[in-house]
Amino acid sequence: MNKPLRGRVAVVTGASSGLGAHFAGVLSAAGASVALAARRTDRLATQVGAIEAAGGRAFAVPLDVADAAAIGPALDQVEAQLGPISILVNNAGVGGEGMALEIAIEDFDRTMDVNVRGVFFAAREAARRMIASGEAAADRARIVNIASIAAHTVLPGLSAYCASKAAVAMLTKALGREWARHQIAVNALCPGYIETEINADWFAGEGGQKQIKGFPRRRLLEPSDLDAALLMLAGPAARGITGTLITVDDGQSL
Ligand SMILES: NC(=O)c1ccc[n+]([C@@H]2O[C@H](COP(=O)([O-])OP(=O)(O)OC[C@H]3O[C@@H](n4cnc5c(N)ncnc54)[C@H](OP(=O)(O)O)[C@@H]3O)[C@@H](O)[C@H]2O)c1
């Protein structure tokens, strides 16, 4: 099998469930050694076990991305265990549900802390290490931020989430520009709706089912629908792609 990421070390935040767990498996299948970061260490252990059982190399690293000071030491652990980091998938995120008239201040702040501050400081800590190790100069440094169609489309009842993902989109461009000279490619994926723990309750209910019927293809996406774009942005093909947002949404935002 073609292994375009052989020899690369990838960090995936929010890899204990949903898309992050899926991305970790995809990067491993493409040849990368993968560090899985999140708070629920029991779930991380399960995902690491699955990757190793499939013949991959994986390492679990406990991390709360809202704790900016914890990110550097977590990445140091990854480098000590797996080697220099070449790929960061900034995937950890929370839903931030709540109508604007009612959302609690703490819930708004938590959405920004995880979805925006977490993305920025993880990107910065990774970029510093990519530059210091030479991975950037060797044109192997790739940062893939997981934004959402919420970065460019209003999702009703999710104003905090939409604002956080729009911030991720602009950070992607700003960091792509700032780190272009270091050869670090910074790009974002903007997925449409995929059923995971973040939205399972919503899609189990009447409102969610009605929303699906309103999508152009009357269905949700599957995590594997993101694989091609993820692998492009994480690998050699992204040499000339930076500051770009790629929407993969089955037409949901059209
Ligand atoms: N599902 C969709 O339809 C969809 C669409 C577009 C974009 N996205 C984005 O995709 C990303 C993954 O979401 P998902 O759908 O896979 O939902 P999920 O299953 O709920 O996964 C969220 C992940 O983020 C982690 N996380 C949350 N807070 C964290 C923190 N403070 N520090 C570290 N990790 C944290 C969680 O791990 P722990 O709780 O173990 O820390 C979990 O692994 C999010 O950024 C989301 O906004 C999802």
Q: What CATH number does the domain containing 78 carry? A: 3.40.50.720
Q: Which atom of ligand 1 is nearest to the CA of 115?
A: 45
**How many whole angstroms from 92 Cα to the centroid of ligand 1?**
4
Euclidean distance between the first and the last CA atom of the chain, given in angstroms as a whole number: 36
HEC secondary structure over 173-214 = HHHHHHCHHHCCEEEEEEECCECCCCCHHHHHCHHHHHHHHH
Q: For residue 253, tell me if it sits in a domain.
A: no
Classify residue 229: in a domain, yes or no: yes
**Residue 215: inside a domain:** yes
254 within a domain of the structure (yes/no): no
Query: Is the separation of the CB atoms in 161 and 115 below 8 Å?
Result: yes
Q: What is the pLDDT along the chain (254 residues), one digit of tens a residue?
A: 689 999 999 999 999 999 999 999 999 999 999 999 999 999 999 999 999 999 999 999 999 999 999 999 999 999 999 999 999 999 999 998 899 999 999 999 999 999 999 999 999 999 999 999 999 999 999 999 999 999 999 998 999 999 999 999 999 999 999 999 999 999 999 999 999 999 999 999 999 999 999 999 999 999 999 999 999 999 999 999 999 999 999 999 99
- Region label for 139, one of left (φ > 0), alpha (ψ between -120 and 50) or beta (otherwise): left
Q: How many domains does the chain have?
A: 1
Q: What residue spans of the chain are helical by DSSP H? A: 18-29, 41-53, 68-82, 105-112, 118-133, 159-178, 200-204, 206-214, 227-234
pLDDT, residue 116, reads 98
Q: Is 161 a catalytic residue?
A: yes
Calculated CA dihedral for residues 247, 250, 252, 254, nearest 10 degrees: 70
60 in a structural domain: yes
The active-site residue, picked from 161, 179, 193, 215, is: 161
Of 43, 196, 230, which is best to mutate to test ligand 1, by the most ligand atoms within 8 angstroms of its C-beta?
196
Q: What is the spatial distance between Cα 10 and Cα 55, in angstroms, rounded to a whole number?
A: 16
Domain of 15? 9-248
Is 65 near ligand 1, meaning CB less than 6 Å away? yes
96 lines ligand 1 (CB under 6 A): no
pLDDT confidence of residue 1: 63
The pLDDT value recorded for residue 97 is 87
Assess if residue 4 is contained within a domain: no
Q: What is the DSSP letter of 28?
A: H
Q: Which of 17, 90, 112 to mutate to test the pocket of ligand 1 (most atoms within 8 A of CB)?
A: 17
Has residue 21 been placed in a domain?
Answer: yes
Instruction: Say what the pTM is.
Output: 0.98
In a domain, 2, yes or no: no
Q: What's the rounded Cα separation, in Å, for the pair 245 and 151?
A: 10
Token couple for 147: 């934004």
C-beta of residue 56 within 8 angstroms of C-beta of residue 81 = no
